[in-house]
């Protein structure tokens, strides 16, 4: 019986340095605007400015969670954390997804109250705050562009995009309110924005939950891989007890018993390289047997995994 393991630690030490720098810059910008709005709110007596500062705080929280996760994830594996702490990034994405749901709940609640009890909206002040918010969010979106393939960073990216869309809707509503006095547009626009944020929040929560529950990555499963390997390597007589899961959204792991004829031991290395190249699997543990494993009574040739 032989065992082959593709190096995991090399991939584990890939630094998220680019994402870290971008998130840090975005955090500095957001915190700066938040402080300016708090000071401006107290100086002008504007509750709208202070409320928007609270909104900026939720962004700072999301970015801060992501930065902490990146820091934790860079800690090397050891005897009691054999896969390292990369899952911290997935957990951060899950928390940010929950925060997005909380934000939606607050917005919907306030919007319903405004519909039931209409209030006069200060259009010019509303417009100025929305323009400031749009500028900050567009700058953050620009900074984070190209880095949102990582689930952790994507959860923050969605925060910023959602707020940019929100700001655009508020700007349009503010202009109409200034000229028409239709204050009802304010809560209606908020409800529309909430629907968009809710869609993104569920996406982040679904992806992070799949990883945390160690399910197979989206669009991939053990049956597909097993069938592909059996076709690609004719000397392969069986694949038993296959397991496929993700450490993060871009780090996949595969393990299985494989049945080979004598004289085809080099196939193990070929399978390992093939899985890495075609499926992006960073570690494959393949245990070679020369007969069907006695313990295999659940997933013959991967059809039930």
- pLDDT at position 54: 65
Whole-angstrom Cα distance, residue 284 to residue 275? 8
Structural domains counted in the chain: 2
Clarify whether residues 88 and 169 are in a common domain. Answer: yes
Is pLDDT at 9 greater than 60 in this prediction?
Answer: no
Q: For a pLDDT cut of 90, what percent of the chain falls above it?
A: 7
- Could you say which of 185, 212, 239 is where a domain stops? 212
Is pLDDT at 4 greater than 50 in this prediction?
Answer: no
Read off the pLDDT of each residue in 44-50 and give the average, rounded to a whole number.
Answer: 52
Structural domain containing residue 294: 216-302
For the record, the structure tokens of 66 come out as 């992501």
pLDDT digits 0-9 by tens, 104-149 = 888 788 778 878 877 776 777 777 777 877 888 788 888 877 665 6
DSSP assigned state of 302: G
Clarify whether residues 157 and 223 are in a common domain. Answer: no
User: Pseudo-torsion of CA 16, 225, 4, 73, nearest 10°?
Assistant: 20
- Could you say which of 212, 227, 251 is where a domain stops? 212
Clarify whether residues 186 and 55 are in a common domain. Answer: yes
Whether residue 4 lies inside any domain: the answer is no
Whether residue 240 lies inside any domain: the answer is yes
Clarify whether residues 49 and 194 are in a common domain. Answer: yes
- Could you say which of 212, 235, 266 is where a domain stops? 212
What are the beta bridge partners of residue 288? 2, 258
Contacts of 246 (CB under 8 A, 6+ apart): 210, 211, 214, 216, 217, 252, 253
Clarify whether residues 14 and 157 are in a common domain. Answer: yes
Clarify whether residues 200 and 294 are in a common domain. Answer: no
Whether residue 1 lies inside any domain: the answer is no
Q: Would you call 298 helix, strand, or coil by DSSP?
A: coil
Q: Can you give the CATH number for the domain in which 249 is found?
A: 3.30.70.1350
Decide: pTM greater than 0.75.
no
Read off the pLDDT of each residue in 236-246 and give the average, rounded to a whole number.
Answer: 90
End-to-end CA distance of the chain: 23
């Amino acid at each position: 019986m032989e065992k082959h393991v593709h190096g995991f630690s090399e991939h584990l030490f890939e630094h998220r340095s680019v994402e870290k720098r971008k998130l840090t810059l975005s955090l500095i910008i957001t915190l700066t605007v938040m402080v300016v709005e708090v000071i401006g709110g107290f100086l002008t007596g504007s509750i709208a400015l202070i409320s928007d500062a609270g909104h900026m705080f939720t962004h700072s929280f999301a970015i801060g969670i992501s930065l902490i996760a990146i820091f934790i994830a860079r800690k090397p594996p050891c005897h009691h954390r054999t896969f390292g702490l990369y899952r911290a990034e997935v957990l951060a994405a899950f928390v940010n997804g929950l925060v997005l749901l909380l934000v939606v709940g607050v917005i919907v609640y306030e919007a319903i109250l405004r519909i039931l009890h209409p209030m006069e909206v200060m259009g010019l002040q509303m417009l100025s705050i929305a323009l400031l918010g749009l500028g900050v969010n567009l700058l953050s979106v620009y900074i984070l562009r190209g880095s949102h393939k990582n689930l952790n960073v994507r959860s923050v990216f969605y925060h910023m995009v959602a707020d940019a869309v929100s700001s655009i809707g508020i700007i349009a509503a503010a202009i109409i309110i200034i000229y028409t006095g239709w204050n009802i547009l304010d809560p209606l626009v908020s409800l529309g924005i909430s629907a968009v944020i809710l869609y993104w929040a569920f996406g982040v929560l679904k992806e992070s939950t799949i990883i945390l529950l160690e399910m197979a990555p989206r669009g991939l499963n053990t049956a597909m891989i097993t069938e592909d390997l059996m076709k690609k390597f004719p000397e392969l007589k069986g694949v038993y007890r296959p397991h496929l899961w993700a450490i993060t959204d871009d780090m996949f792991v595969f393990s299985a018993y494989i049945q080979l004829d004598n004289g085809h031991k080099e196939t193990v290395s070929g399978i390992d390289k093939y899985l890495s190249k075609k499926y992006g699997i960073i570690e494959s543990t393949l245990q070679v047997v020369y007969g069907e494993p006695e313990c295999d009574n659940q997933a013959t040739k991967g059809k039930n995994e």
